[in-house]
Amino acid sequence: MSEAGPRVALLDYGAGNLRSAQRGLERAGARVTVTDDAPTAARAEALVVPGVGNFSTCLHNLRSAGLADLVMRWVEQDRQVLGICVGMQLLYEHSEEGDVAGLGVLPGRVVRFDSEVVVPHMGWNVVHEARPDWLLAGVDGERCYFVHSYYAQPEEPSHVVATASYGGEFPCVVRVGNVVGTQFHPEKSADVGARLLRNWVASVREEAPA
């Protein structure tokens, strides 16, 4: 862990693979605080919202931990946020999983894969750049690790940075200003995921106050 790295709060709301995410972020150069306390998280330069499991349960846990308002405020202020898997999906307006409203800070919805494919979509899949973006340096055309049955469907096509294919094309990386979401798990995606995390941490470092 670099002492000079930006301060990143990894939100602990009982719905994420925290150890792997922490290690991945620290290897990428961040100073990571794992916390379930909103005031502590608010002192960081960036937030990471992990997420594994059911959308409704994750959303309930995020709210119960008192972290939902913090995430919403940071997204609305275009501060640095990284959502991983369900952590990304929670930012959208609605999910078909449980037919429930999300945080609603990004326009779009979360939908289930077509019934013709086996769910969950699990394993390694190629990430294809949808538009040029610094975030994908060293990532475009490489394989990352996915585990999910639902995916985000942004209202605005320009928000989609990268796609993957599983029974058709779906967004797997989105970015709206300083808000980034990955459907795959970069912390489980070996060297390719490490590159994406380094790219993201570098962008946080550039924005962090001197």
Q: Which residues are catalytic?
A: 85, 185, 187
- Residue 186, both tokens: 């970069």
Residues near 60 by beta carbon (within 8 Å), at least 6 away in sequence: none
